Amino acid sequence: MNSLESSRPAAHVVGNRGETQGRSEAQPSVRSEGPATASQEVRGQKVRKMLRAQLGDDVYTSWFQSMEFEHFDGKTVRVSVPVKFLKNWIQSHYSEALLKCCAAEFEGVENVEVVLRQPSPVRTVTSESASTSDNRSTAAPQVAPATDWPPRPPATPAVRTQVGGFEGSPLDPRYTFESFAVGPSNRMAHAGATQVAETVLSDCRGFNPLFIHSAVGLGKTHLLHAIAWSVRRRFPQAQVLYLTAERFRYQFVEALKSQDPLSFKEKFRSIHMLLIDDLEFLHGQQTEQEFDHIINSLLDGGRQVVVASARAPNHIEKLNERMRSRLMRGLVTEIGPPDAELRLRILEKRVQEKQQFDPSFEIPRDILQLLADRLHESGRELEGAVTRLHATWQYMRTPITVDIAETVIRDLVQGAEPRRIKIEDILKVVSRHFGVSKGDILSQRRHRSVVWPRQVGMYLAKQLTSRSLPEIGRRFGNRDHTTVLHAIRKIEGELGGNPRLRDEIDELKKMLNA
């Protein structure tokens, strides 16, 4: 058995090694040696040519370039591809064409089985090993790396901050200020983060505490890691501790179990900067009290505190009034959803990161624009799309096309699509929220208790549905489109300087999307 055949996983042929060896002569793989295999390989190449002629160069290159013929047992032709989505795509779109082409060359074929292939282990031929093999005729042959298997990125292990023997949570080396894409929705948070990193040992700090809040995946954890890395680089003598709320709770519970809570408090005395992530997950009355004491002690001692949470301090119910007041004393800043320009910038940065260890990887500008237009939930979603496309590129080594990109991100797009909202749904939610009847909203009454919910409803209808202004007017009591436009502008004008209204609108949107 040659080296290529032995490196292929046995499970792709039968299921265990003994059975594979037992059948290898009766049903030789296309990739094994021998006259029969050579004949099958020739037929496989003819099938490839027919597929290219029938489907065209673009389709063939995108979906069949990496396909390999495994074996033919008289009824079934087995072919393999390197990634699951290729397997699924060929089965769902080109199974008939593949079977038809195989039938022309493999007599008696009844079906074609597409299976998933695993990469064979390869070793790079170094100059030293090459010279050694020249001197040893019995040495095992060295296998050069295949061109369609680029080297993997070097491992970048996470680092834990430590202060006085207290071990913090892991810091991701990728999360730095350099890799953070800045736009209108996060500019204030980024500015606050860079300033606290630069002034951590200064007597005149700009923002203390710094409180960053946002929905999941918008960059608050990235900024906390970036602050920690920046301080470690600028001020090696500074004592920086990064903790998730969950790890803080775990360490405190362990101290209580060992009946040594005093040593837990002492470990925070030498800290210059404490970064706490996911504050909303801080649970337990004793834990919350201890957290209050430590934060107050650090702030009273002039030490820098940075906190990240999914919600603003005044919306975290478990905080007592004193702690809520102290956290709101500094800079409280929100990271909003990225706009189209920022999403494109995030994608470009993620591609650049991949190119650092795989310079040949490239995503065309129009594909990046497509991703930015289709994916707008979070930065993690965008990063995931680039990672998937890079994995596809590694396996296929063909240019990333719109067809490939749409296939790879299909589940991301489907997961991001909200359910279809109807104006009837908006009327129900608004009337229930404001305590007015649907009939009042649709009536000609002009009392503020009715006009305001009506205007909010019209605004939501424009934001969340594809209905035109005249159609919205008709659905809200046969009103003119100018009345709808006035209502939309009224709400938009109020949103600019009314945080409570913004929260109320967000809450109504959540109800409608639930």
Helix (H) or strand (E) holding 354: helix 340-355
Q: Rounded CA gap, 207 and 440, in Å?
A: 48
β-strand pairing of 76-81 with 68-72: antiparallel
Question: What's the CA gap between 369 and 382, in Å, rounded?
Answer: 12
Predicted confidence at residue 496, as pLDDT, reads 78
Q: CB neighbours of 504 closer than 8 A, spacing ≥ 6?
A: none
Q: Which helix (H) or strand (E) holds 242?
A: strand 240-244
H helix intervals, 94-171: 95-103, 127-135
Query: Does the pLDDT of residue 55 top 50, yes or no?
Result: yes
Q: What does the pLDDT read at residue 212?
A: 94
> Looking at per-residue confidence, does 123 or 115 come out higher?
115
Q: Please state, in angstroms and as integers, the Cα–Cα distance from residue 91 to each residue in 40, 85, 99, 136, 413, following that order.
A: 22, 10, 10, 47, 22
Long-range contacts formed by 362-369: CB under 8 A, 24+ apart: 362/399, 362/400, 363/389, 363/400, 363/405, 364/399, 364/400, 366/402, 367/400, 367/401, 367/402, 367/405, 368/344, 369/344
Look over the chain and give the mean of its residue pLDDT values, rounded to a whole number.
Answer: 78
Q: Give me the amino acid identity at 67.
A: M
Find where tokens 């490239």 sit: 362
DSSP symbol at 372: H
Of the ranges 116-130, 200-214, 397-411, 423-437, the best mean pLDDT one: 423-437
Cβ atoms of 255 and 284 closer than 8 Å: no
Residue 414, both tokens: 């489907």
Q: Which of helix, strand or coil describes residue 70?
A: strand
Give mean pLDDT, residues 456-460: 94
pTM: 0.55
Return the residue matching tokens 């990469």. 119
- pLDDT band at residue 412 under the 50/70/90 scheme: low
Highest mean pLDDT range out of 65-69, 81-85, 119-123?
Answer: 65-69
Count CA within 13 A, CB hemisphere, residue 321: 0
